[in-house]
Every structure is written in C-alpha cells, then in structure tokens.
Structure 1
Amino acid sequence: MFSISGRGMSLVAGLLMSGVALAEAPATHEVHGASAGEADQAAHAFSEANQRMHHDMAISTSGNVDMDFARGMLAHHKGALDMARIELEHGSDEQMRSLARDVIDAQQREISLLEHWIAGHDDSHESQKAK
C-alpha cells in the first residue's frame, strides 16, 4: 500500500498549483533561464497537461469510493508526471530539475500501484462480460 506524507501532498499540490498559475499567466519575455520561445512552449505544455489532467479527473462516480478514488488519483498522478517532464524539458534550475526527477520516480510507482489495483478490482468489466 502506498502513502503520501504531508510533505508529498504539499509537493504535489504545489506543483499542480504552479501549473495552474503558469497556464493562466500571460507569456512573458522576461523569463530567467529560458528564451521567450521556450517559455511560451513550456507555458503551452503546462496548460495542455493541466487541461488533460482535469478532464481525466472528472470521472463518473461509480458508487464504489475506493474505485472512484483510485481512478481520480490515477489521472492526478499522471498530471504530476506530465508537469515534471515539462520541467525537465524546459527548466534550468537544478533544484527544481532534481525535484522533478523525484516526482517522476514517486509518481511512476504510485501509477503502477493504482493501475494494478484498478485492474484487480474493476468489476465493471466482469459484469459487462456476463451480459
């Protein structure tokens, strides 16, 4: 079973909030460590990742709290993974790049756990086969 510490939840929340802020902020040509064109590309990538994550998190609830949680968190973790990859592609601060690598490692483990759990507990596929 996985668990996210208070620090981990704060980290994920902070990364997600920064993606929202970047997605909503106008592009600027005064970005440190990146050219204006690269900053625009990164802002566009953050916006797309944020939109995809929120779309995928908007699950139809099933009445099974555990399954709904797992499906929503799966989309949430994939969004964090996308954001960390954007940092590695466009970011220049080594502390943030190191954090992005840590986020990727942690999110990949949790994504794997969630996918495995969903596959083992998804009764909707079994009930559809019986019909």
Structure 2
Amino acid sequence: MARTSLAALFAGCLAATAPALAQQQQHGGHAQHGTPAPGDTEATRGYRAAADAMHRDMTAPYTNDVDVDFLRGMIPHHRGAIAMAKVALAHSKDPEIRRLAEGIVRAQEGEIAAMEALLKRRGAP
C-alpha cells in the first residue's frame, strides 16, 4: 500500500474517532454512565446513578499531597462500590453474588472509616 494511502487511512480513522475521544476526555475518560437507555431495568438505573455519583465525587481538586489526594479519591470510589453492591443486594437472587455484595459493603465501610480517620488526623477536609 502506498504511503499516501496509509496516511489517508490513518487520517480517516482519526476523524472517525475524534468525537468519541473528545466526549471521553470531557468525562474524565469514562463514558457517560448516567445517560438512560430505553429499556434500562431498575438495577441498571441504580448502577448508572452509583457510577455518576462516584465519578462526580472523585473530582475533588488535588492538593499536591500524595496521601491526602489518595484518600480523597478512594473514599468516593469505595462509596461507589457500596452503592453498586446495594443495587446487587436489592435485585440479585444469586446467593453467591449476594454474599460477595454483602462482603463488599462490610469491607468498604470499614476502609472508608479508616481513610476518614486518616484525613481527620491530617487536618484535611
């Protein structure tokens, strides 16, 4: 294949993917979770809401303190995991999934408490 053909092919691929890449960059690299789709179940709506809240809450400004920034990012991440686990508990009938979700709620709640205590000791919001 000639160089001009490869260049044209590459340019065409970039042009075709640019809108999707721009949208992902506007949303922190994640596709929009909260956009409802026709036929979404109540569980799917719950997962979308949990993901949206998590991503929104993870946008706290960075402080340039690696430890504080880690904790402030992980707390909403864990809260999102809890929210998703609670959706599973509300809708899943699979005993294995339910046990996993219950364990996630317990573990993540404990980790959030520990992270909040670390932030408090550091005097960080």
* TM bin (shorter chain): 0.5 to 0.7
Ranges in structure 2 where 5+ consecutive residues have no aligned partner: 1-30
Does the aligned pair in 1 maintain the 2:34–2:52 contact within 8 Å?
Answer: no
What's the TM-score once normalised by structure 2's chain length?
A: 0.67
Q: In structure 1, what is the equivalent of residue 91 of structure 2?
A: 90
Residue 59 (1) aligns with residue 86 (2): no
- Describe the shift of the 1:49–1:123 C-alpha distance in structure 2 as closer, same or farther (beyond 3 A): closer
- 1:34-65 deviation digits (Å, cap 9, x = unpaired): xxxxx711111110110000011112001111
Q: In structure 2, what is the equivalent of residue 78 of structure 1?
A: 79
Residue 114 (1) aligns with residue 107 (2): no
What's the TM-score once normalised by structure 1's chain length?
A: 0.64
- 1:52-82 deviation digits (Å, cap 9, x = unpaired): 0001111200111100000000010000010
Question: Considering only aligned residues, what root-mean-square deviation do their CA atoms show, in Å?
Answer: 2.2
Does the aligned pair in 2 maintain the 1:27–1:43 contact within 8 Å?
Answer: no
SS at match of 2:63: coil
Letter aligned with residue 82 of structure 2? L
Higher relative CO (Cα under 8 Å, sequence separation at least 6) belongs to: 1
Q: Percent identity?
A: 32
Please state how far the C-alpha of 1:24 moved relative to its aligned partner. Answer: 7.1
Does the aligned pair in 2 maintain the 1:23–1:43 contact within 8 Å?
Answer: no
Task: Tell me how many residue pairs correspond in the alignment.
Answer: 94
Which structure has the greater CA radius of gyration?
2
Ranges in structure 1 where 5+ consecutive residues have no aligned partner: 1-19, 29-38, 125-131
SS at match of 1:66: helix
